[in-house]
């Protein structure tokens, strides 16, 4: 079964030697990161943005658990959804690879995973990204 990213240019693929990373834009003019990567900087309008692979780990800032199935969503419910702070100063909105409220808490360390979310109509496994608690299983 083939694996395809849910959208090109968002994250590294499983065979990438850099491991699971988000592909963020980094502006040469103002130094700020943005995600997803674009050619223009959303902060200073700079036109010299390079793609950087970042965000293997981060710190959970906020989280919720989505119980009702949103229209168009192809993954399992309930699912975790939150905001993760990266060391580069970027704050990323992400699905969370943990759907239990009790297993999530602000400030916890989380790691990026690139994993199949659903199987598309062509039979391919569609990969998406999520952050999962790194100390999952241990009591807070």
* Distance (Å, whole) CA 54 – CA 76: 26
CA 14 centroid distance within chain:
14
Per DSSP, what are the bridge partners of residue 84?
60, 92
Kindly indicate which of the ranges 11-19, 70-78, 108-116, 132-140 contains the residues binding other proteins, using the contact rule CB under 8 A: 70-78
- The pattern of x and - marking residues 6 through 25 that bind other proteins according to CB under 8 A reads xx----------------x-
Cis peptide before 17 (omega within 30 of 0): no
Give the Cα separation of 10 and 137 in Å (integer): 29
CA–CA distance, 98 with 37 (Å, rounded to integer): 26
| The only residue of 113, 126, 132, 136 in contact with other proteins, by rule CB under 8 A | 126
Span of 13-21, 35-43, 108-116, 131-139 interacting with other proteins by CB under 8 A: 35-43
Provide the mask over 79-118, with x wherever binding to other proteins is found by CB under 8 A and - wherever it is not: x-xxx-xx--xxxxx-x-----x----x----------xx
Q: Which of 56, 75, 116, 136 binds other proteins (CB under 8 A)?
A: 75
Overall size of the chain counted in residues? 140
Give the nearer residue to other proteins in terms of CB position, either 111 or 130: 130
CB-based contacts of 62: which residues, under 8 Å, 6+ apart? Answer: 82, 83, 106
List contacts with other proteins (CB under 8 A): 6-7, 24, 32-36, 42-43, 62-68, 70-75, 79, 81-83, 85-86, 89-93, 95, 101, 106, 117-118, 126, 128
């Amino acid at each position: 079964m083939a694996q395809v990213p849910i959208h090109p240019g968002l994250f590294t693929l499983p065979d990438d030697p850099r491991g699971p990373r988000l592909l963020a834009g980094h502006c040469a003019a103002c130094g700020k990161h943005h995600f997803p990567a674009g050619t223009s900087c959303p902060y200073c309008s700079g036109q010299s943005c390079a793609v950087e692979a970042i965000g293997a780990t981060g710190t959970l800032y906020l989280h919720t658990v989505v119980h009702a199935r949103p229209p168009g969503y192809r993954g399992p419910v309930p699912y975790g959804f939150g905001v993760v702070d990266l060391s580069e100063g970027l704050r990323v909105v992400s699905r969370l690879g943990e759907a239990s409220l009790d297993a999530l808490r602000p400030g916890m360390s989380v790691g990026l995973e690139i994993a199949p979310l659903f199987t598309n109509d062509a039979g391919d496994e569609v990969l998406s990204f999520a952050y999962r608690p790194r100390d999952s299983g241990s009591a807070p």
